[in-house]
A and B are shown apart, each in its own frame.
Chain A
């Protein structure tokens, strides 16, 4: 049974507890503390997804993972929640408010495309903050959150797993980090 707290709108306990004290503000501090206490030991069973490249399937654990694939090989199963194509404040609001609401209704993997093109200003701070929100979403709802990303230079974001498509000497490989394992991808013409 999903329990809700009515603030300015209906928020689930899990949703409210996912937020930082500073994000909630003084006004809702009491409700937030109640929500944190309510979900303190309440862990949902993890949703495990799959990273699929042709006939290759690797498990995608819950938490924040990174996909580096400029060739469009990788897809995620089961059908993920695709994060809406929005930028700047709309993107942050979507991650903080709309995405958790969708997960309250239906827990599925989450896929964020074009993660590094979501900010028109203060991009580095934006990516750090958005990455942190997605990490919290993954942990609180125990769903895999995959971020499609071109470069991985931000040391602040800790990925559970990273999947990279690598082309070498005419062959295609799927590299999985941190284990650093290479899987050969068979191309079907």
Chain B
């Protein structure tokens, strides 16, 4: 959650950008401030939330962790890419040309050429 709000604050933002609920926004700011991650400034009637150097280091570490994890996933699944657009489904994908194995040998299978009424 801390990371989520640090990303939201970025290089600095107004209080309302953190949450439209003023009470909740102050709760977040106070929590981050107690951890030494943000400072609060009032500039011409507006409340600005600015990240500290510590916050920037935390975000840098977070970016590194993310890139390591992505690299690991890439190594495990070399074909892990965005799914490509598939061609339109065809009849073959729903009704195979050949009889499925669970019907083969079924005594009720009727052959068209032997149809007799």
Seen from chain A, the residues whose Cβ lies within 8 Å of a Cβ on chain B are 7-8, 17-28, 36, 39-41, 89, 92-93, 96-97, 119, 122, 125-126, 128-130, 132, 136, 139-140, 156
22 contacts between A and B (CB under 8 A): A8-B113, A8-B115, A22-B99, A23-B111, A23-B112, A25-B111, A25-B113, A25-B114, A27-B113, A89-B110, A93-B115, A96-B112, A97-B115, A125-B106, A125-B107, A126-B108, A128-B103, A128-B106, A130-B108, A132-B100, A132-B103, A156-B102
Assess the B99–A20 pair: CB atoms within 8 A. Answer: yes
Task: Give the nearest-CB partner of B112 in chain A.
Answer: A24
Report A30 CB to chain B, min CB distance, Å.
13
Task: Give the nearest-CB partner of B104 in chain A.
Answer: A22
Given contacts A89-B108, A93-B110, contact A23 B115 (CB under 8 A): no
Given contacts A25-B113, A27-B113, contact A36 B91 (CB under 8 A): yes
Seen from chain B, the residues whose Cβ lies within 8 Å of a Cβ on chain A are 88, 90-92, 94-100, 102-104, 106-115, 117
Report A142 CB to chain B, min CB distance, Å.
10
Question: What does DSSP make chain A's interface, helix, strand, loop or mixed?
Answer: helix
Report B85 CB to chain A, min CB distance, Å.
16
Instruction: Choose among B94, B108, B113, B114 the residue that contacts A129 (Cβ–Cβ < 8 A).
Output: B108
Instruction: Choose among B90, B95, B109 the residue that contacts A18 (Cβ–Cβ < 8 A).
Output: B95
CA distance A19 to B100 in the complex (A): 12
